[in-house]
């Protein structure tokens, strides 16, 4: 029997006062029983290692490809209840933050755990704003890319290159250094993103303007031409800010896991962010909104939607922007995004693809195929339409995701570094390859 004492249920839990917080496992290979503690409805995988058939046995492991049922960390940053469609940062519902907060305030909350006071927000905004410039050599570095280089490839390389400019970033256990790299990363990501866009157009880079808001300055660096002072449209500025809030963190997704995994080797944060950005580049993660747009273009008109839905139901196609690994209800971000779409269309003109999207949603939400499988619109269903209306090419869509997610990545990285239980990430494997065999000389090989 496992000598570890079971964790007893809290006394306040009257109905379960006598409940033992443990799991009893019977190993049918040996007939032995083991009792492993349960905490937060979870057992520790390492507690299974004691389950052996004999002394030489390595011990029991769990097999969980893609970690779909494995908690890799304890986190206090983002909460998601996928069945109920709930998303909260540090306890605050996403709907309230999207309505009342700004991206910079939300980033502060995600990173520090509390909403800032006026003075804290002022200080935070000052420092982020005063770290938006990039070294002129980074500009030259960007110039080295082909005119048609994908902006994600450029931004991944440029963020990694930043580590060579800030060797102090290696001091990851120095709080002051971490704070400085955080200002730099959050400040410089929009600059790098805008410069990749200008590079693809062959336009001169537009430098940051410290008098503008975080999203306002981003719009300035993207779209400024000959005007002496760029004045962002307030609707577009706010729309972008809300989209940034919605994308700031999403707990242990693929790119965040990359950030934590790479960061667990104690590399500097620029290199870890480059890895996280690379993970986001993949079409299964940051590229879904582009796939939605391509799908809507392929459908082409509202009267062709029923045909397309038929193809989806017969398994020939996927309804892109529908379904989610975690949300089995309406993605709470999708509702907010849908609202923003109309505000942006009021300024930029109605994107004709919206009617096709609405018809897809209307049919899908009433159709048994989608209802049974709990397939609802996800955040990406409408973001592509908004970005396209704002004038962004599709290649910039994942870049627009990487900018705000930087705050979430850094918060998760910092939480990992300060967690005494965390170590260098090193999963196990089940080896099913060849057993030991002798080397075959070349002239004996078939
Ligand atoms: N269209 C049609 N059918 C779908 C869709 C879809 N978009 N998504 C899932 N299904 C079906 C599956 O075929 C499956 O049907 P079956 O039970 O008959 O085999 C069932 O629904 C369950 O699907 P799973 O693959 O188990 O769902 P999972 O949760 O693993 O997949 C995923 C989630 C990958 C997001 C999937 O829904 C999908 O591919 N959606 C389209 C792409 C997309 O929009 N991605 C963006 C996600 S949001 C983000 O990353 C920021």
Q: What is the mean pLDDT of residues 236-248?
A: 98
pLDDT at residue number 17? 58
Mean pLDDT of 184-191: 98
Judge whether residue 3 has pLDDT over 60: no
Within this chain, do residues 262 and 236 fall inside the same structural domain, yes or no? yes
Distance 309 CA to ligand 1 centre (A): 14
Q: Is the pLDDT of residue 11 over 50?
A: no
- 47-64 pLDDT, tens digit per residue, is 999 999 999 999 999 999
**Residue in 323, 329, 383 to alter for ligand 1 test, most ligand atoms within 8 A of Cβ:** 323
pLDDT over 50 (residue 10): no
Measured CA to CA, the distance from residue 352 to residue 348 in angstroms comes to 12
* Domain extent for 274: 78-280+400-417
| Average pLDDT of the segment spanning 184-210 | 97
CB 398 within 8 A of CB 286: yes
- Supply the pLDDT for residue 16: 57
In a domain, 442, yes or no: no
| Shared domain check, 173 and 96 | yes
CA 99 – CA 125 distance, rounded (Å): 19
- The verdict on residue 341 lying in a domain is yes
At residue 19, the pLDDT reads: 84
Q: Confidence band (pLDDT; 50, 70, 90) for 107?
A: very high
36 domain-assigned: yes
Q: Does residue 9 have a pLDDT over 90?
A: no
Q: Which domain CATH number covers 304?
A: 1.10.230.10
Q: What is the pTM of this model?
A: 0.93
For 69-90, letters b (16+ CB in 10 Å) and e give eeeebebebbebeeeebebbbb
Same domain assignment for residues 209 and 342: no
Together in a domain, 213 and 296: no
* 5 in a structural domain: no
Rounded average pLDDT over 80-96: 96
Domain boundary among 340, 370, 389: 389
* pLDDT tens digits along 397-444: 999 999 999 999 999 999 999 999 999 999 999 999 999 999 999 999
**428 lies in a domain?**
no
Query: Quick one: 116 and 154 in the same domain?
Result: yes
- What was the pLDDT predicted at 2? 36
pLDDT tens digits along 140-157: 999 999 999 999 999 999
Q: Are residues 327 and 240 in the same domain?
A: no
- What is the dihedral sign for C-alpha 16, 19, 23, 28? negative
User: If you average pLDDT over every residue of the chain, what do you get?
Assistant: 94
In a domain, 438, yes or no: no
**pLDDT the model gives residue 15:** 56
Tens of pLDDT, residue by residue over 203-212, are: 999 999 999 9
- Answer yes or no: is pLDDT of 163 > 50: yes
Residue 378 beta carbon below 6 angstroms from any ligand 1 atom: yes
Least confident of 174-188, 263-277, 328-342: 328-342
Could you tell me the CATH number of the domain that includes residue 246? 1.10.580.10
Output the pLDDT for position 18: 72
* Domain-located, residue 445: no
* Cβ(373) – ligand 1 distance below 6 Å: yes
My answer on whether 302 and 371 are in the same domain is yes
| Ligand 1: centre distance to CA 375 (Å) | 7
Count how many domains the chain has.
3
Instruction: Output the pLDDT for position 4.
Output: 32
Q: Do 202 and 150 share a structural domain? A: yes
Domain co-membership, 267 together with 203 = yes
Beta strand 92-93 with 86-89 is: antiparallel
Distance CA 347, CA 37 (A): 57
Contact by Cβ (8 Å): 189, 403: yes
Same-domain status, 44 and 162? no
Using the mean position of ligand 1's atoms as its centre, give its distance from the Cα of residue 324 in Å.
6
**pLDDT tens-digit readout, 352-396:** 999 999 999 999 999 999 999 999 999 999 999 999 999 999 999
Q: Which of 209, 285, 355, 367 is catalytic?
A: 285
Q: What is the mean pLDDT of residues 106-121?
A: 98
Q: Percent of the chain having pLDDT more than 90?
A: 91
Phi, then psi, of 110 in degrees rounded to 5? -60, -40
Query: Cα angle at 422 between 418 and 427, to 5 degrees?
Result: 150
- Top pLDDT among 279 and 330 is at 279
Is residue 25, in this structure, part of any structural domain at all?
yes
Q: Are residues 323 and 253 in the same domain?
A: no
Q: Check whether residue 255 and residue 368 sit in a common domain.
A: no
């Amino acid at each position: 029997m496992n000598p570890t004492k079971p964790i007893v249920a809290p006394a306040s839990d009257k109905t379960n006062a006598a409940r033992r917080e443990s799991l009893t496992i019977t190993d049918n290979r040996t007939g032995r029983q083991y009792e492993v503690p349960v905490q937060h409805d979870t057992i520790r995988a390492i507690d299974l290692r004691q389950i052996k058939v004999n002394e030489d046995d390595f011990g029991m492991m769990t097999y969980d490809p893609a970690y779909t049922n494995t908690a890799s960390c304890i986190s206090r940053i983002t909460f998601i209840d996928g069945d109920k469609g709930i998303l909260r940062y540090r306890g605050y519902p996403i709907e309230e933050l999207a309505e009342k907060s700004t991206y910079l305030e939300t980033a502060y909350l995600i990173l520090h755990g509390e909403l800032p006071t006026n003075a804290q927000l002022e200080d935070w905004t000052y420092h982020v704003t005063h770290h938006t410039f990039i070294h002129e050599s980074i500009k030259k570095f960007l110039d080295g890319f082909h005119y048609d280089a994908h902006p994600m490839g450029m931004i991944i390389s440029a963020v990694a290159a930043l580590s060579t400019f800030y060797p102090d970033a290696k001091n990851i256990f120095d709080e002051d250094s971490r704070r400085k790299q955080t200002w730099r990363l959050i400040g410089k990501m929009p600059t790098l993103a805008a410069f990749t866009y200008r590079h693809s157009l062959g336009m001169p880079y537009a430098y940051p303007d410290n008098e503008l808001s975080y999203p306002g300055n981003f719009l300035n660096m993207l779209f400024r031409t000959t005007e002496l002072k760029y004045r962002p449209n307030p609707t577009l500025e706010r729309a972008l800010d809300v989209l940034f809030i919605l994308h700031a963190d999403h707990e242990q997704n693929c790119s965040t896991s990359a950030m934590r995994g790479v960061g667990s080797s104690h590399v500097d944060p620029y290199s870890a962010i480059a890895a996280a950005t690379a993970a986001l580049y993949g079409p299964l993660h940051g590229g879904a909104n582009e796939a939605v747009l391509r799908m809507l273009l392929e459908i082409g008109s509202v009267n062709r939607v029923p045909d397309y839905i038929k193809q989806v139901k017969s398994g020939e196609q996927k309804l892109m922007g529908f379904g989610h690994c975690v949300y089995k209800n309406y993605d709470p971000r999708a509702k907010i995004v849908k609202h923003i779409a109309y505000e942006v269309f009021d300024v930029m003109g109605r994107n004709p693809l919206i009617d096709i999207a609405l018809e897809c949603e209307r049919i899908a939400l009433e159709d048994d195929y989608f209802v049974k499988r709990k397939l609802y619109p996800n955040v990406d269903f409408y973001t592509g339409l908004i970005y396209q209306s704002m004038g962004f090419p599709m290649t910039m869509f994942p870049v627009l995701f990487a900018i705000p997610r930087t705050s979430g990545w850094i918060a998760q990285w910092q939480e990992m570094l300060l967690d005494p239980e965390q170590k260098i990430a090193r999963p196990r494997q089940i080896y099913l390859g060849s057993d030991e065999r002798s080397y075959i000389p070349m002239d004996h090989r078939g």
